[in-house]
Chains A and B, each alone.
Chain A
Amino acid sequence: MKYVKLFLITILVIAFAAQCAPAAETPAAVAPTAEAPAAAAPTAEVAAPAETEPELPLFYGAYATPIEEPWDGVIHAALQQAATDGKIRYEFTDDIGYAGDMERILREIAENQKPAAILGDAFGNEEAVRRVAVDYPEIAFAFGSGLGPAEPNMAVFDNWIHEPAYLSGMIAGGVTQSGVIGVVGGYPVPEVNRIVNAFIDGAKAVNPEAKVIVTFINSWFDPAAAKEAALAQVDAGADVLFAERFGVIDAAVEKGLLAFGNMSDQNALGPETVITGPVWNMGPTVDYLIAQVNAGTFTGMDLKDFSMVGKGGSYLADFHGMDAKIPAELLAKVKETEQQIKDGLFRVDIKEEPPVSD
């Protein structure tokens, strides 16, 4: 018995030591190399001292949620793409949470890795992110935020995908047979409200008689609850579903109904079910940031435009052949509206108040 206890304690000690080890090694790994190679690249005053390829600026991702969460997943995907394309070096930390670790982790990153830029989501950690940003004016901070930018180095962005949400709503309003459309969302926070309200506006623009039911599950991750919420909407007569969260498309597949994804191309979740849906692409934002950081012209600004249709930051997901289920007249109208948005001739209203069910 005593030996088993001793054995377990030993394992604990080893595990604890293993946990601590990487942290202890970090300072050695980021021993600053010569400043000279950095000067070769136009990294200007935000040059990042680096252990390997010093010509590329280091972009660091600091995410409150796991990267499997769709919102942070979009940022992660864009930064990873930029790294693959050889534009930046990319490292990240995720699942930081909302329990007060964000400030410490950001300071560690700023001190040890000395990145050119840090990207992430500030929602729920606004004060922490801004406190650190003030202390490291040489690092570019670009965070998802519901608040404003701050000079000299705090830029903000958000998923401004209300335009393709409006277009999705137009299609939903046209394809519903029962006249009832169901929307299942996470929380009624501004970024979700914006998308849902635009979706409702789009549906009503095409079909003023359409009835929209909105349910919130108060969770970002509970697909079983989202599915049950969607099934309850189907019981209430909904025959088209907008899946702001995962789990809803599953209900549509099961009931043989049509659905719209959100945030990414979700056709794979139901090839015969998902028509399209708003997609967020952080690529344009990341490209713009890289250019600004490299030119030394980065400034605290709202990067909103780079997440909108005009600059390719959001778009309607590929139909994957599902456009065959949309009446030709409606499809033409949707494409026309899309073009008008691109040309700056049509603006989708931004409404951030919580949506209400009809």
Chain B
Amino acid sequence: MEIFIINLIGATLRVSTPILLAAIGETYAERAGILNLGIEGTMFFGAFIGFFVADKSGSLWLGFLIAVLSGVIFGLLMALLTVTLGVNQHVSGLGITMLCTGLSLFAFRLNYGGRSIPPSIESFQQLAPFKNIPWLNTLTEQYLFTYIAFLVIVPLAWWLLYRTSFGLKIRSVGENPEAADAAGVNVFAVRYAALAIGGGLMAAGGAFLSLAQLGAFTHGIIAGRGWVAIAIVIFGNWNPVRAMWGALIFGGASALQLRLQTMGLQLPIPYETFLALPYIVTIIALVLAGRNASYPAALLKPYRRE
């Protein structure tokens, strides 16, 4: 039983990582007042370009950096559309998702078309700091990005948002851009910056899948993880630390359902019930936590100076 739980926690951390990175990215965008539905596509493009660059250059780190950069660029494109031009945020975001998905698959076919098995590369190796203690090793044998996401990005994102003047500006342009503007905050620049940071984190989440977890790129590599991240942002009440708990709940339910399927429980319920478990848990969590959800007041509203 102990082994089962330790395995479960180890898998939970791994499954949660890409969703956590994307959720924190989305938190930054929404805190600044922009719902970025380009999240799924930004992750997809990050997964593709990271893999592509790593494959062609032979450097995983270069691939990862370019992936993050691509996310920043798509974040800025989202900013151009929604902040500067004031286009509807839903339409812009979904448009970016379609653009990113189409671009990635088009480039993928041009470069790797007509293969019977997906191209693969030697991926990032897992770190094993406690190799000699079996149970602790099971728990801590994780990819570097999992460590960075939980131990660096989450605290840093929280600190930046709540303890720095930059974070205060992000929150203020998402709550009351008129007041922020009157106080001398450049609403446009702050929103651009928040979307750029957010896009970078989303693409990092995608690149985690292609460069660390799989070492390969295929269709369906993101498989809706971006949309899950959006639900987790709401569950987290736009707070990076609470988003982390949301990602862990979803990741935990995913890891648990796969283990329940292997146990050969002769239950009179179809296996799809297990597959639905993470989503059911997420919906229940949203219902419980979402009642107190306080949306950033300026979310979805383009800002125009009078």
Give every chain B residue within 8 A of A254 (Cβ-Cβ).
126
User: Nearest Cβ distance between residue B182 and chain A, in whole angstroms?
Assistant: 22
Find A266's partner among B15, B117, B259 (CB 8 Å cutoff).
B117
Give every chain A residue within 8 A of B275 (Cβ-Cβ).
216-218
Give every chain B residue within 8 A of A215 (Cβ-Cβ).
258, 261-262
Is B223 in contact with A246, judged by CB distance below 8 angstroms? no
Closest to A354 in B: B271
Q: Which B residues, 111 to 149, have Cβ-Cβ distances below 8 Å to chain A?
A: 113-118, 120, 126
Q: Provided the pairs A69-B219, A236-B263 are in contact, do residues A228 and B105 lie with their beta carbons within 8 angstroms?
A: no
Q: Would you call B264 an interface residue if the criterion is a C-beta within 8 Å of the partner chain's C-beta atoms?
A: yes
Is A232 in contact with B116, judged by CB distance below 8 angstroms? no
User: Nearest Cβ distance between residue B265 and chain A, in whole angstroms?
Assistant: 9
Find B216's partner among A77, A182, A250, A358 (CB 8 Å cutoff).
A250
Give every chain A residue within 8 A of B216 (Cβ-Cβ).
223, 246, 250
Closest to B219 in A: A221
Q: Would you call A290 an interface residue if the criterion is a C-beta within 8 Å of the partner chain's C-beta atoms?
A: no
Quick one: CB contact mask for B242-270 with A, threshold 8 Å, 1 for yes? 00000000000011001101111000000
User: Nearest Cβ distance between residue A90 and chain B, in whole angstroms?
Assistant: 12
A46 to B28, CA, bound (A): 61
Q: Would you call A192 an interface residue if the criterion is a C-beta within 8 Å of the partner chain's C-beta atoms?
A: no
Closest to A220 in B: B220
Give every chain B residue within 8 A of A227 (Cβ-Cβ).
213-214
Q: Would you call B2 an interface residue if the criterion is a C-beta within 8 Å of the partner chain's C-beta atoms?
A: no
Is A357 in contact with B262, judged by CB distance below 8 angstroms? yes
User: Nearest Cβ distance between residue A253 and chain B, in whole angstroms?
Assistant: 9
Q: Provided the pairs A219-B223, A222-B223, A236-B263 are in contact, do residues A268 and B11 lie with their beta carbons within 8 angstroms?
A: no
Q: Would you call B209 an interface residue if the criterion is a C-beta within 8 Å of the partner chain's C-beta atoms?
A: yes
Find A357's partner among B18, B116, B261, B272 (CB 8 Å cutoff).
B261
Q: For the side of the interface on A, what is the size category?
A: 35 or more
User: Nearest Cβ distance between residue A233 and chain B, in whole angstroms?
Assistant: 5
Q: Provided the pairs A231-B11, A264-B116, A357-B264 are in contact, do residues A224 and B219 lie with their beta carbons within 8 angstroms?
A: no
A57 to B126, CA, bound (A): 53
Quick one: CB contact mask for B198-236 with A, threshold 8 Å, 1 for yes? 000000000001000111101111010000000000000
Is A224 in contact with B85, judged by CB distance below 8 angstroms? no
User: Nearest Cβ distance between residue B141 and chain A, in whole angstroms?
Assistant: 10
User: Nearest Cβ distance between residue B115 and chain A, in whole angstroms?
Assistant: 8
Among A74, A217, A223, A268, which residue has the most Cβ atoms of chain B within 10 A? A223
Quick one: CB contact mask for A72-108 with B, threshold 8 Å, 1 for yes? 0110110010000000000000000000000000000
Quick one: CB contact mask for B7-37 with A, threshold 8 Å, 1 for yes? 1000100110010000000000000000000
Q: Would you call A235 an interface residue if the criterion is a C-beta within 8 Å of the partner chain's C-beta atoms?
A: yes
Give every chain B residue within 8 A of A265 (Cβ-Cβ).
116-117
A218 to B271, CA, bound (A): 10
Give every chain B residue within 8 A of A8 (Cβ-Cβ).
85
Is A247 in contact with B214, judged by CB distance below 8 angstroms? yes
Is A232 in contact with B120, judged by CB distance below 8 angstroms? no
Is A250 in contact with B214, judged by CB distance below 8 angstroms? yes
Q: Which B residues, 249 to 306, have Cβ-Cβ distances below 8 Å to chain A?
A: 254-255, 258-259, 261-264, 271-272, 275
Closest to A222 in B: B223
Q: Would you call A66 an interface residue if the criterion is a C-beta within 8 Å of the partner chain's C-beta atoms?
A: yes
Find B264's partner among A66, A73, A358 (CB 8 Å cutoff).
A358
Quick one: CB contact mask for A201-242 with B, threshold 8 Å, 1 for yes? 000000000000101111111111101110111011010000
Is B214 in contact with A218, judged by CB distance below 8 angstroms? no
Closest to B217 in A: A223
Which 6 pairs from chain A and chain B are nearest by CB? A221-B220, A264-B116, A232-B258, A357-B264, A222-B223, A236-B262
8 A-B pairs besides A213-B264, A357-B261 with CB distance below 8 A are A66-B109, A70-B117, A73-B116, A223-B216, A228-B15, A235-B3, A247-B214, A269-B117
Residues of A within 8 A of B (CB): 1, 4-5, 8, 66-70, 73-74, 76-77, 80, 182, 188, 213, 215-225, 227-229, 231-233, 235-236, 238, 246-247, 250, 254, 261, 263-266, 268-269, 356-358
